[in-house]
Amino acid sequence: MSPGRSRKKGKEYSEAEVQEAVAMVKSGVSVREAGQATNVPKSTIMDRISGAHGSKRGRPTELTEEEEEYIKEMVLLLGDWGFPFTRLDLRLFVKSYLDKKGMVSRFKNNFPTKRFVDTFVNRHPELRMRNTNPIKRARAAVSREKVMMFYNNYKKCVEDLPPENVFNYDETCMRDDPGSKKCLFRKGTKHCEKVMNTSKSNISVMFCGNAAGHMLPPMVVYKALNMYSGWKKGGEKNFKYSCSASGWFDMYQFELWFEEMMLPLLKKLEGKKLIIGDNVSSHISPRQSLIDIYITIVQ
């Protein structure tokens, strides 16, 4: 090659296009016409027909196509189940497989490099690296049947009810973000979830509103044995503040919220009321105290 001249970069084409070009030539189409139709160079078509080169370009992979296909299907299935592989998980799994197989690969100690993950994903377009959304195991176990049962019951309960009388409450916890790692999922997955239990060790807040868009003032529960006035400083006057040893809403906190914030509003409304929320049994005891009031008001 003369000085100053650079080698012309080859055209990009896929294996499927090569196979199509070879099939066209074998069916009677000329090599030139097949190359123009598929964007595959004539030399590549001739080499493939004559068997001068293998079916794939580039360096051969450590795993066979069949082995990679099995691993890909496993990774896709684990992602569907909520237990996706991280980059490191995939590398460790391949190392374990190579070790058990007794195979000596070009990887140091059979441990694939980070680049291996990139090339593996590129070879299998069904895979994508995505950030995960951690959810608890109990929430991940909710089935379609349970969801349909809820909506069937809800449809019956809201018949002839004005939106002002339909309430939804939920307790949430302001905690440190457990973080999100990029994991392997099926291409096109909208909700990239990872099943994992996280701790609620900070501040809990109870939110409640009705179907008409009216929100009750929130109730804040701190993790402490004693409530300090300084914790209320800067907060809205209608907010309710309390504390518990765990920082969660226990029986006492839930009854306090219902008696002092929910009940006064419900008494002002006419007709039947519907309250939808977290499992009440997780907040109150089975004793015959406020439960009678709850049932009387809701029904």
Instruction: Enter the pTM of the model.
Output: 0.43
How confident is the model over 73-100, as pLDDT tens digits? 999 988 887 788 888 889 999 998 888 8
Element (H, E) at 182: strand 182-186
Question: For the CA atoms of 220, 222, 226, 228, what is the dihedral angle to 10 degrees?
Answer: -70
The token pair at 70 is 């099995």
Residue numbers of the domain that contains 81: 65-125
Instruction: Give the pLDDT confidence score for residue 238 in this predicted structure.
Output: 84
Predicted confidence (pLDDT) at residue 210 exceeds the cutoff of 90: yes
The total number of structural domains that make up the chain: 3
Question: Which band of pLDDT confidence, cut at 50, 70 and 90, is reported for residue 51?
Answer: low
Asked if residue 163 is part of any domain, the answer here is yes
Q: Are residues 202 and 266 in the same domain?
A: yes
As a whole number, mean pLDDT of residues 19-27 equals 86
Instruction: Give the pLDDT confidence score for residue 208 in this predicted structure.
Output: 93
Residues of the chain above pLDDT 70, percent? 79
Using alpha carbons only, give the angle 97, 103, 107 rounded to the nearest 5 degrees: 80
Q: Are residues 153 and 240 in the same domain?
A: yes
Question: For the CA atoms of 206, 198, 142, 164, what is the dihedral angle to 10 degrees?
Answer: 10
How confident is the model over 115-157, as pLDDT tens digits? 999 999 988 888 888 887 776 666 666 678 877 887 888 888 8
Q: Are residues 150 and 272 in the same domain?
A: yes
Closest CA to 232 of 261, 203, 210, 253: 203
Q: Are residues 151 and 234 in the same domain?
A: yes
Asked if residue 186 is part of any domain, the answer here is no
In the 8-state DSSP scheme, what is residue 215?
Answer: B
Distance, CA of 107 to CA of 59 (rounded, Å): 14
Cβ proximity of 223 and 249 under 8 Å? no
Average predicted confidence (pLDDT) for the chain: 78
Q: Are residues 261 and 214 in the same domain?
A: yes
Domain boundary among 5, 24, 50: 50
Distance, CA of 63 to CA of 297 (rounded, Å): 66
Using alpha carbons only, give the angle 287, 288, 294 rounded to the nearest 5 degrees: 110
Distance, CA of 245 to CA of 220 (rounded, Å): 14
Instruction: Give the pLDDT confidence score for residue 157 in this predicted structure.
Output: 83
Instruction: Give the pLDDT confidence score for residue 253 in this predicted structure.
Output: 85
Distance, CA of 294 to CA of 291 (rounded, Å): 5
As a whole number, mean pLDDT of residues 259-269 equals 90
Q: Are residues 165 and 244 in the same domain?
A: yes
Strands 166-174, 182-186: pairing is unpaired
Asked if residue 294 is part of any domain, the answer here is yes
